[in-house]
């Protein structure tokens, strides 16, 4: 899930795109850069039209109304509720960073546009690696520890952007480590929800956990952050990122572990005690 959900989009969208588009815009103008940014979407649409086929309906698929979950039933499962809330908090963290970090770096910290592009590209490298490293590590040590730790680590990114005065290379390293929080996106959007419920309800809970984050976090967060920035300055969105990351780490304390390998290991440890 980590590879399929994050690897391609982060490698090309979060790393290559900021560096390439900034350089292209400097050479040919921002209007032309917007046309270039639209090209991958058109190509992707054509590839989907050409190669993706609708799956054949399963004859054994449950069709009774009893097999369907309501929104209330889905959110009554603690892990689903927490993952949906984590989606709101951490998608907000992500979109605020992408919207306001470039402005803060160029207008407040006075970095040139190209340096800003490379710093933002560092986030793409971090996300590309974290997409499968963090997810794979969670298979071994558990989902819950990483979903607690990485949001708390994410606090250092906005704080460094505001207060770190050292080398830009060190700042890039801090950005790289802080952005590791994106490595748990596949966990709270897909893996943990799917492991927490009966397979018949997987699509329902995935839709809830992804949809709440994208609709509430992705839509409202930039509006609120922009309003705060207009009123108090560009530091406000970055301070919001600090609060969102802290809340995410604390909220994850309530998760129930779902990693099969970890649960099997715990069961093996308990079995001798039971006998």
Contact indicator for 108, 266 with CB cutoff of 8 Å:
no
Q: What is the reported pLDDT for 73?
A: 85
pTM for this entry: 0.82
Give me the tens of pLDDT residue by residue for the chain, a chain 275 residues long: 777 666 667 667 666 777 788 788 888 888 888 888 888 889 889 999 999 887 776 554 545 445 677 888 888 999 999 999 999 999 999 999 999 999 999 999 999 988 998 898 898 888 888 878 898 899 999 999 999 999 999 999 999 999 999 999 999 999 999 999 999 999 999 999 999 998 888 888 999 999 999 999 999 999 999 999 999 999 999 999 999 999 999 999 999 999 999 999 988 887 776 66
CA–CA gap between residue 85 and residue 141 (Å, rounded): 23
Listed in sequence order, the residues at least 6 apart from 72 whose beta carbon sits closer than 8 Å to its beta carbon are none
The answer to whether residues 84 and 215 touch, using CB atoms and an 8 Å cutoff, is no
pLDDT recorded at residue 6 = 63
CA distance 91 to 247: 13
What is the domain partition of the chain in residue ranges? Answer: 2-43+72-270
| Angle at CA of residue 40, ends 3 and 88, nearest 5° | 55
Spell out the CATH class of 2-43+72-270: mainly alpha
């Amino acid at each position: 899930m980590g590879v399929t959900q994050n690897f391609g989009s982060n490698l090309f969208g979060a790393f290559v795109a900021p560096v390439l588009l900034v350089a292209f815009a400097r050479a040919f103008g921002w209007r032309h850069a917007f046309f270039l940014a639209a090209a991958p979407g058109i190509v992707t649409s054509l590839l989907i039209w050409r190669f993706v086929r609708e799956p054949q309906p399963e004859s054994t698929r449950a069709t009774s109304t009893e097999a369907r979950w309501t929104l209330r039933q889905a959110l009554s499962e603690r892990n689903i509720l927490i993952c949906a809330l984590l989606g709101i908090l951490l998608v907000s963290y992500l979109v605020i960073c992408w919207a306001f970090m470039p402005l803060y770096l160029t207008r407040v910290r006075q970095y040139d546009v190209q340096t800003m592009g490379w710093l933002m590209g560092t986030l793409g490298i971090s996300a590309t690696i974290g997409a499968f490293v963090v997810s794979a590590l969670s298979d071994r040590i558990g989902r819950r520890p990483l979903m607690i730790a990485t949001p708390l680590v994410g606090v250092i990114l906005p704080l460094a952007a505001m207060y770190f005065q050292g080398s830009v290379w060190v700042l890039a390293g801090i950005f790289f480590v802080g952005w590791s929080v994106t490595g748990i996106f596949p966990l709270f959007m897909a893996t943990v929800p799917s492991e927490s419920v009966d397979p018949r309800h997987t699509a329902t809970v995935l839709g809830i956990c992804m949809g709440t984050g994208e609709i509430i976090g992705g839509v409202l967060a930039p509006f609120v952050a922009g309003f705060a920035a207009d009123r108090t300055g560009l530091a406000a969105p970055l301070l919001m990122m600090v609060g969102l990351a802290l809340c995410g780490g604390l909220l994850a304390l309530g998760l129930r572990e779902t990693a099969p390998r970890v649960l099997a290991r715990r069961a093996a440890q308990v079995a001798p005690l039971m006998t």
